[in-house]
């Protein structure tokens, strides 16, 4: 995610880095690139204007011109401002002191409300809460059924009735009070922000059930209109936060920047996959790091910690950092990665990956290829796994036969292994990573 | 109400915001740098994107010079003409001389594929065609039920399998049924998928291959369903879906909101893909064939 913007800004700063000092023209050149990159990333043009003006004010000033490494200074300023723009600290879900907490999801058609409702319910359930899902979308054909199917999958009850959405919401809250559910998640119908009648319906639901959280669900691929939509929903309903969905694609997600800047509403969660456990808290600082190509090591580590036990993680980390990373480690790696989720998502979290577009493309393997890779490595002798350089033509033929693959497949796997090794060396060599990130790690 | 008036009415909000902005920019003044800059902002705000916007403005500047245009008001006509030039001629549906015609709907999640399938079925039913809807979205919960409701509403035949079954098998069944029952148009709804998920895209490739094997020249149309609120990512969507499925055109949905869908200009320019239909509401008749000239006229007049 945010790959494009990352690549662009890195290009800009590479140009800056090659010079000793920054002139005002250098800064202007960088700002032009930043402006273009942000516009191409669908950041609202007014937000871009303000952003660029703020950067310029700080960048052309004394601190940059006189600082020893002006390029780093600009990177820092841009990063600070990006974090600033996206809202500083991580915002959480407000839970009511006296249950049930009522959460209401609103948004345009197709933004992902129903899926988000189920994801949110699952995440709360994992935290030991007792959520109740409410199907208040009585308009879209089969919307209620969709929520019921998802509710079944995560074993969370779904409240549904025919009739008026306001009544459905109110009766759901009564049901929660009665049966002791502590979070009520209302999935409302998608609607256009300019549909007066349906917007009024949302106001009525809000007035009736007094939700603690009204969350706007927004597609991360939304263009310039994101701001109009968010502003209108905010004016009518008083939003408490935003959920950004479909961030697992290649969208640069400029909507994340704009919505916060324009409405002041924090982004609380991001959807990063179709599976129901793929909802993550939004961290502005990490997102800014991603934009700037610093990767998102913290999210990766949290993910690793929740899926792999600490001991295994420590061992894995150690091997990752050791020089003699071999095919056995590679296999172990592939297995761990598979546990954590889709590879492209995991890889997108790695530092430096944003700038390595070509490598990223080369490394695109899908889940099926992973199974093959495992079969191929399993067909090697321990000696071959530890010293891949001894694998010659005849060994390759044997390995291919043993794993039911072809010599080309074996070659491809060996190439991928070499690339991974190279990748690891590359970010091992990054001073930023070694000094600033790893001392804080608790494994 | 005629087609054109309906188009005009449903584009009401787009007209209000986009046209009002252009009006504001053009009123009261002479042609200067500031004016070009404001035009640029307006186009960017319509999601036209930086490269297409720059091209439009370059052409405007050149024509202002050669045609000695002095009044800002005259820029409106030039801008209309230039947008029209980028949008190109209307491209008709590529339907085979002998039935069944096979139309595949593809796109990312939540753009309105299932709704479009229903509306498209109705569109062909209105022309007296025998239509079959194929529920090849076997992934999203209740997508099959949703399409079945549309099949009933539009009076179309319906082919389905269980949730989770192979979508290519559903398409295979649908085509067999279509051939046996003399169906004119088969419309297959597929599951939404992000264009970056290679294994899901490969699944679409399989559907296309199965269709081609069963009916000559199929799928005759592969329509990318695109949400008008989408920004520049739409280019990436169009590019990758085109690579895998040979997209032949775009259905631009949700044009009844405030989003302009300007990215289709960039898509036409970069990938040559034309818009074939636009969705302008939630009702079954809210789908219209796209005509660039009428569209530009509806926005500006």
What CATH number corresponds to the domain at position A82? 1.20.120.140
Of A86, A117, A144, at which residue does a domain stop? A86
- What residues 149-168 of chain A have any CB closer than 8 A to a CB of chain B? 149-150, 153
Query: What's the pLDDT score for residue A1?
Result: 34
> Which of A7, A110, A158, A360 is best to mutate for the B interface (most B CBs within 10 A)?
A110
B250-267 per-position pLDDT tens digit? 999 999 888 888 999 999
Query: What's the pLDDT score for residue A443?
Result: 29
- What residues 389-418 of chain A have any CB closer than 8 A to a CB of chain B? none
A307 shares its domain with A400 = yes
Does A94 reside within a domain? no
A346-355 per-position pLDDT tens digit? 555 554 444 4
CATH code for position A391: 1.10.260.30
| Contact status of A39 with chain B (Cβ, < 8 Å) | yes
Contact A2, A86 (CB under 8 A): no
User: Cβ contacts (< 8 Å) between A192 and chain B: which residues?
Assistant: 254, 256-257
Q: Which stretch of A111-125, A275-289, B97-111 has the lowest confidence by average pLDDT?
A: A275-289
Query: What's the pLDDT score for residue A437?
Result: 35
Distance of alpha carbon A294 from the chain centroid: 14
d(CA A314, CA B111): 43
Greater confidence, A101 or A333?
A101
Does A96 reside within a domain? no
Does A206 reside within a domain? yes
Query: What's the pLDDT score for residue A220?
Result: 92
A61 shares its domain with A134 = no
Residues, chain A: 443
Q: How far is A393 from chain B (nearest CA, A)?
A: 30
pLDDT, mean of residues A86-90: 68
Q: Which stretch of A49-58, A152-161, A309-318, B63-72 has the lowest confidence by average pLDDT?
A: A309-318
A41 shares its domain with A137 = no
A238 shares its domain with A365 = no
A130 shares its domain with A269 = yes
A135 shares its domain with A269 = yes
Residue A245, sorted as left (phi over 0), alpha (psi -120 to 50) or beta, turns out to be beta
Closest by CA position to A201, among listed A164, A170, A254: A164
Does A91 reside within a domain? no
A263 shares its domain with A392 = no
C-alpha distances in Å from residue B78, one per residue of B31, B66, B202: 13, 12, 44
A416-434 per-position pLDDT tens digit? 788 777 766 665 554 344 3
Does A92 reside within a domain? no
CATH code for position A113: 3.40.50.300
| Contact status of A360 with chain B (Cβ, < 8 Å) | no
Q: ipTM of this model?
A: 0.88
Taking an 8 Å cut-off on Cβ atoms, the answer to whether A40 and B49 are in contact is yes
Write the DSSP string, B236-279. HHHHHHHHHH---EEEEE-TTSS---THHHHHHHHH-PPEEEEE
Query: What's the pLDDT score for residue A400?
Result: 92
User: Cβ contacts (< 8 Å) between A252 and chain B: which residues?
Assistant: 232-233
A137 shares its domain with A195 = yes
Does A320 reside within a domain? yes
Residue A435 DSSP symbol: I
Cβ neighbours for B97, distance < 8 A, ≥ 6 positions apart: none
Write the DSSP string, chain B. --HHHHHHHHTHHHIIIIIHHHHHHHTT-B--HHHHHHHHHHHHHTT--HHHHHHHHHHHHHHHHHTT--BTTHHHHHHHHHHHHHH-S-------SSSPEEEEEE-STTS-HHHHHHHHHHHHHHTT--EEEEEE--SSTTHHHHHHHHHHHHT-EEE---TTS-HHHHHHHHHHHHHHHT-SEEEEEE----TT-HHHHHHHHHHHHHHHHHSTT--SEEEEEEETTB-THHHHHHHHHHHHH---EEEEE-TTSS---THHHHHHHHH-PPEEEEE-SSSTT-EEE--HHHHHHHHH-
pLDDT, mean of residues B94-101: 92
Query: What's the pLDDT score for residue B259?
Result: 87
User: Cβ contacts (< 8 Å) between B50 and chain A: which residues?
Assistant: 36, 39-40
> Which of B229, B234, B238 is best to mutate for the A interface (most A CBs within 10 A)?
B229
In chain A, how many domains are there?
3
Query: What's the pLDDT score for residue A227?
Result: 93
**pLDDT band, very low/low/confident/very high, at A311 (cuts 50, 70, 90):** low
Of A288, A320, A353, at which residue does a domain stop? A288
User: Cβ contacts (< 8 Å) between A149 and chain B: which residues?
Assistant: 141-142, 163
Greater confidence, A309 or A167?
A167
Taking an 8 Å cut-off on Cβ atoms, the answer to whether B232 and A250 are in contact is no
User: Cβ contacts (< 8 Å) between B236 and chain A: which residues?
Assistant: 249-251
User: Does residue B276 have a known ligand-binding role?
Assistant: no
B125-167 per-position pLDDT tens digit? 999 999 999 999 999 989 999 999 999 999 999 999 999 999 9
A245 shares its domain with A195 = yes
Query: What's the pLDDT score for residue B279?
Result: 94
Closest by CA position to A255, among listed A290, A287, A223: A223
Using a pLDDT cut of 70, give the percent of chain A over it.
69
Q: Which stretch of A51-55, A149-153, A437-441, B200-204 has the lowest confidence by average pLDDT?
A: A437-441
Q: Which stretch of A190-199, A367-376, B2-11 has the lowest confidence by average pLDDT?
A: B2-11
Cβ neighbours for B33, distance < 8 A, ≥ 6 positions apart: none
A278 shares its domain with A308 = no
Does A23 reside within a domain? yes
Does A137 reside within a domain? yes
User: Does residue B190 have a known ligand-binding role?
Assistant: yes
d(CA B169, CA B174): 8
Taking an 8 Å cut-off on Cβ atoms, the answer to whether A40 and B50 are in contact is yes
A271 shares its domain with A319 = no
Using a pLDDT cut of 90, give the percent of chain A over it.
39
Contact A272, B194 (CB under 8 A): no
A320 shares its domain with A436 = yes
Closest by CA position to A258, among listed A295, A213, A282, A222: A222
- Binding residues of A, as ranges, are 107-114, 187-191, 245-248
Of A25, A60, A86, at which residue does a domain stop? A86
Query: What's the pLDDT score for residue A3?
Result: 44
Give me the domain span that covers residue A385.
297-440
C-alpha distances in Å from residue A176, one per residue of A100, A101, A147, A239: 7, 10, 18, 23
Domains and CATH numbers, chain B: 1-301 (3.40.50.300)
| Contact status of A246 with chain B (Cβ, < 8 Å) | yes
Q: Which stretch of A90-104, A218-232, A315-329, A373-387 has the lowest confidence by average pLDDT?
A: A315-329
Q: Taking 80 as the threshold, does the pLDDT of residue A337 lie above it? A: no
| Contact status of B108 with chain A (Cβ, < 8 Å) | yes
């Amino acid at each position: 995610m945010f790959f494009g913007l990352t690549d662009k800004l890195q290009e800009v700063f590479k140009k800056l880095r090659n010079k000793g000092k920054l002139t005002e023209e250098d800064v202007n050149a960088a700002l032009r690139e930043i402006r273009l990159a942000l516009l191409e990333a669908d950041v609202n043009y007014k937000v871009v204007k303000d952003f660029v003006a703020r950067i310029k004010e700080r960048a052309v000033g004394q601190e940059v011109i006189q600082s020893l490494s002006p390029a780093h200074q600009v990177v820092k300023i841009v990063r600070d401002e990006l974090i600033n723009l996206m809202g500083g600290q991580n915002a959480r879900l407000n839970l009511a002191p006296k249950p049930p907490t009522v959460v209401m999801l609103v948004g345009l058609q197709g933004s992902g409300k129903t899926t988000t409702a189920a994801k949110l319910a699952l995440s709360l359930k994992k935290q030991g809460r007792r959520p109740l899902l409410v199907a208040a979308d009585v308009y879209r054909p089969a919307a209620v059924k969709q929520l019921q199917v998802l509710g079944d999958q995560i074993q969370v009850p779904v409240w549904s009735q025919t009739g008026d959405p306001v009544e459905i919401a109110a009766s759901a809250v009564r049901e929660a009070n009665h049966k002791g559910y502590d979070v009520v998640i209302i999935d409302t119908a998608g609607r256009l922000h300019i549909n007066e009648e349906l917007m009024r319906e949302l106001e009525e639901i809000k007035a009736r059930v007094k939700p603690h959280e009204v969350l706007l669900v927004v597609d991360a691929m939304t263009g310039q209109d994101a701001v109009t939509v968010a502003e209108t929903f905010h004016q009518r309903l008083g939003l408490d936060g935003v959920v950004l969905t479909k961030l697992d694609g290649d969208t640069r997600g400029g909507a994340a920047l704009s919505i916060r800047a324009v409405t002041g509403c924090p982004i609380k969660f991001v959807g990063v996959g179709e599976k129901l456990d793929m909802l993550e808290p939004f961290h502005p600082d990490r997102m800014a790091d991603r934009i700037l190509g610093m990767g998102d090591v913290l999210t990766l580590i949290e993910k690793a910690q929740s899926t792999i036990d600490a001991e295994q993680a420590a061992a894995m980390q150690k091997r990752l950092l050791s020089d003699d990373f071999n095919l056995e480690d590679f296999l172990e790696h592939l297995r761990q990665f598979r546990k954590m989720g889709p590879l492209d998502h995991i890889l997108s979290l790695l530092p430096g990956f944003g700038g390595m577009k070509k490598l990223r493309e080369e490394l695109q393997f899908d889940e099926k290829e992973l199974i093959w890779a495992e079969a191929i490595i399993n067909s090697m002798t321990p000696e071959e796994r530890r010293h891949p350089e001894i694998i010659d033509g005849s060994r390759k033929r044997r390995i291919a036969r043993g794993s039911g693959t072809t010599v080309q497949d074996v070659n491809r796997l060996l190439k991928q292994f070499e690339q991974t090794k190279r990748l690891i060396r590359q970010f091992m060599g990054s001073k930023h990573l070694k000094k600033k990130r790893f001392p804080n790690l608790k494994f | 109400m005629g087609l054109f008036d309906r188009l005009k009415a449903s584009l009401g909000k787009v007209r209000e915001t986009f046209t009002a902005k252009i009006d504001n920019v053009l009123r009261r003044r002479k042609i200067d740098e500031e004016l070009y800059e404001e035009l640029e902002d307006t186009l960017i705000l319509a999601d036209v994107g930086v490269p297409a916007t720059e091209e439009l403005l370059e052409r405007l500047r050149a024509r202002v010079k050669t045609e000695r245009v002095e009044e800002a008001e005259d820029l409106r006509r030039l801008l209309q003409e230039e947008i029209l030039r980028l949008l190109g001629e209307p491209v008709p549906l590529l339907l085979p001389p002998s039935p069944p015609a096979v139309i595949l709907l593809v796109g990312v999640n939540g753009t309105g594929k299932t709704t479009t399938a229903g509306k498209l079925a109705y569109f062909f039913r209105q022309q007296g065609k025998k239509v079959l809807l194929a529920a090849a979205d076997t992934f999203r919960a209740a997508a099959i039920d949703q399409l079945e409701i549309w099949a009933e509403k539009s009076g179309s035949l319906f082919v389905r399998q269980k949730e989770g079954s192979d979508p290519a098998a559903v398409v295979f069944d649908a085509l067999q049924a279509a051939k046996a029952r003399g169906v004119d148009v088969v419309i297959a709804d597929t599951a939404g998928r992000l264009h970056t998920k290679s294994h899901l895209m490969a699944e679409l490739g399989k559907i296309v291959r199965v269709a081609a094997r069963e009916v000559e020249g199929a799928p005759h149309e592969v329509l990318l369903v695109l949400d008008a609120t989408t920004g520049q990512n739409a280019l990436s969507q169009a590019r990758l879906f085109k690579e895998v499925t040979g997209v032949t055109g775009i259905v631009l949905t949700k044009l009844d909101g405030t989003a302009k869908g300007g990215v289709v200009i960039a898509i036409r320019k970069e990938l040559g893909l034309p818009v074939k239909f636009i969705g302008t509401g939630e009702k079954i008749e809210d789908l219209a064939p796209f005509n660039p000239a009428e569209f530009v006229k509806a926005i500006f007049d």
